[in-house]
Structure 1
């Protein structure tokens, strides 16, 4: 009897924890427009003085422009990260590519010395894409072979078969 009661309490605790986590994520997602428009509360000068620090912008003409730029990178990065960590689909690793892009843009935005911050990030993403895209394709292929009762040997033979470009593209969408 005591064992059943303990199991029921732990199950209820797990459900309430999941409900709390889901609620916090939902509130965070709903608040993102307000978080983004908080850039309007930053000063319209090139120097920001608080009792903790003084910040003088070098690249941006005004602090609120810098805040607008940073929040324009942080909000999509936050939303994509939530999507990545909560997605249950087999292709969720592909979300790492735009996360990497926004992360590089955010880092470039912080670095005031860099002048063209939306141009070079794609070159840094090529190694990430070179790992993620084949990984996602292999996961897709493995799922496809399990759904159609194909063995991995048949899958390997299919990968080694010489095919035309059109046939390869057609196979991607079957």
Structure 2
């Protein structure tokens, strides 16, 4: 199911092309779609489905990632969610301009956590490199004794 959604994402991204380019309303079997604060329904659909596509892809990436840094994906996901809410709430005058500042309180703790984790890992990697060298030397010593 997930792979089918990922395959369909390019089609989801270009669904706006089916909307009328010159109309303010579009009557579909899902209901009436209004252009909101956009010049046309097509412009509204383009902005809406661009944000929906990015939110869904970064959400899937976050949910399926097993890496320790997966929480870094929350930073763009938070920004895309704020941008999506700006598109849906068409009364906001500047859609993408101030979203970063609104999402900053959610992003800063994540960034500080990632910096801390990175610092801790870099301290451990130094000692693990020494351990790896010791193990490699011991293996070479054992192999040379056997020959």
Task: With the length of structure 1 as denominator, give the TM-score of the two structures.
Answer: 0.64
- Aligned equivalents of 1:29, 1:39: Cα separation in 2: 18
TM-superposed CA distance for 1:79, in Å, is: 0.8
3-state DSSP class of the match of 2:26?
A: strand
Per the alignment, residue 92 of structure 2 pairs with 114
- Aligned equivalents of 1:27, 1:59: Cα separation in 2: 33
Note if contact 2:62-2:73 (Cα within 8 Å) is conserved in structure 1: yes
- Aligned equivalents of 2:29, 2:108: Cα separation in 1: 47
Which of the pair has the greater relative contact order for Cα pairs under 8 Å at 6+ separation?
Answer: 2
Q: Classify 1:81/1:42 alpha carbon distance in 2 versus 1 (closer, same or farther; 3 Å).
A: same
Q: Which runs of 5+ in 2 are unaligned?
A: 129-147
Q: Report Cα offsets for 1:82-126 as digits up to 9, x if no partner.
A: 111111111111111111111111100111111211111111122
3-state DSSP class of the match of 1:117?
A: coil
Q: Classify 1:110/1:26 alpha carbon distance in 2 versus 1 (closer, same or farther; 3 Å).
A: same
Task: With the length of structure 2 as denominator, give the TM-score of the two structures.
Answer: 0.75
- Aligned equivalents of 1:27, 1:125: Cα separation in 2: 31
- Aligned equivalents of 2:81, 2:8: Cα separation in 1: 21
- Aligned equivalents of 1:61, 1:107: Cα separation in 2: 18
TM-superposed CA distance for 1:148, in Å, is: 4.5
TM-superposed CA distance for 1:40, in Å, is: 1.9
- Aligned equivalents of 1:52, 1:38: Cα separation in 2: 14
Q: Which runs of 5+ in 1 are unaligned?
A: 1-23, 151-174
TM-superposed CA distance for 1:145, in Å, is: 4.2
Equivalent pairs, count: 127
Per the alignment, residue 26 of structure 1 pairs with 3
Note if contact 1:90-1:140 (Cα within 8 Å) is conserved in structure 2: no
- Aligned equivalents of 1:51, 1:32: Cα separation in 2: 21
1:93 and 2:84 are equivalent in the alignment: no
